[in-house]
Every structure is written in structure tokens, then in C-alpha cells.
Amino acid sequence: MRSNGVIQAEVEILVPFFDVDMMEVVWHGHYVKYLEVARCALLDKIGHNYANMRDAGYAWPIIDLQLRYMRGAKFGQRLTVRADLVEWENRLKINYLITDAETGERMTRGSSVQVAVEIASLEMQLASPSVFVQAVQRAIA
């Protein structure tokens, strides 16, 4: 099992009808949306969300996304999506775990990697901007 990150956030998702296929199983691409909801909650908890990133002059595109499906989620199922911050000094790496909210059964796990890109120059940064690193350090303290 993966170790916990330095900061975690959890959200609950109730699988809507429009996310499932004719077998009432969540289409695999919708899991990315669930991760994004948890990632936004994590960034809010850090105190440096996407609006703050933009206002600081940086975009943070995803450059890598990994998903491992263990069990398909179904229409009406309540899911818990946890996001764990595991790297932040040179890149933003977040691990995710999706579980059944009632049983705790593991459904899906994944990770995403984002890098800072200066909006004005469109240059990728080799280290995370100090404004983001400082926000993480404040949230950890």
C-alpha cells in the first residue's frame, strides 16, 4: 500500500446516472473527473488552488496520469476519493484512492503529476514556484 502524503483531502461522490454505461458501470474516463474533484479539495486545503496558481502567474498542466482499476463503480454508489500530496518541491504529485464509502472496499487507485509553467513565457519550471512551496509548508505546519 502507498504511504500517506503530507496533506490529505477526501471528498464523497455519488455516482450519477450520466456517468455510467448501459451496464450501469462508471465509464473509465469519468474517474479522472472524480480525481479532479479531490485534487481541487486538496489544493483548497493547502490554500493555493487553481485561481491562486493563475494569479501567481503559473499554469499547472498534468504531464502524467496513472490509474489502476480494481472494481467498477456502479450507478448510485457512494465513493470516497482521497487525494494525498506526496511531492511538491519540483513537481506536484498526488496519489489517489477511491473506495466504496460504505464498505471501504478499494475500487481504484491512481496518481497525477503536474509541473509549473510560467504563463507569460510558457516555460516549464524546473522547480515549483516558491509561492506554492510556501503554501504547502504553511499547511503542513
Cα–Cα distance, 16 to 93 (Å, whole number): 28
Calculated CA dihedral for residues 59, 64, 37, 127, nearest 10 degrees: -40
Please write the tens of the pLDDT for every residue from 46-57.
999 999 999 999
Share of the chain above pLDDT 90, in %: 96
Cα–Cα distance, 66 to 84 (Å, whole number): 14
- Asked if the model's pLDDT at residue 1 lies above 60, the reply is no
pLDDT, mean of residues 75-104? 97
Q: Which domains does the chain have, with CATH numbers?
A: 7-140 (3.10.129.10)
Helix (H) or strand (E) holding 65: strand 62-69
Confidence of residue 4 (pLDDT cuts 50, 70, 90): confident
Cβ contact 73:15 at 8 Å: yes
Please write the tens of the pLDDT for every residue from 10-33.
999 999 999 999 999 999 999 999
For the beta carbon of residue 77, count every other beta carbon within 10 angstroms: 18
- Asked if the model's pLDDT at residue 3 lies above 90, the reply is no
In degrees rounded to 5, what are phi and psi of residue 81?
Answer: -115, 115
Estimate to the nearest angstrom the gap between the alpha carbon of 100 and the chain centroid. Answer: 17
Global pTM reads: 0.94
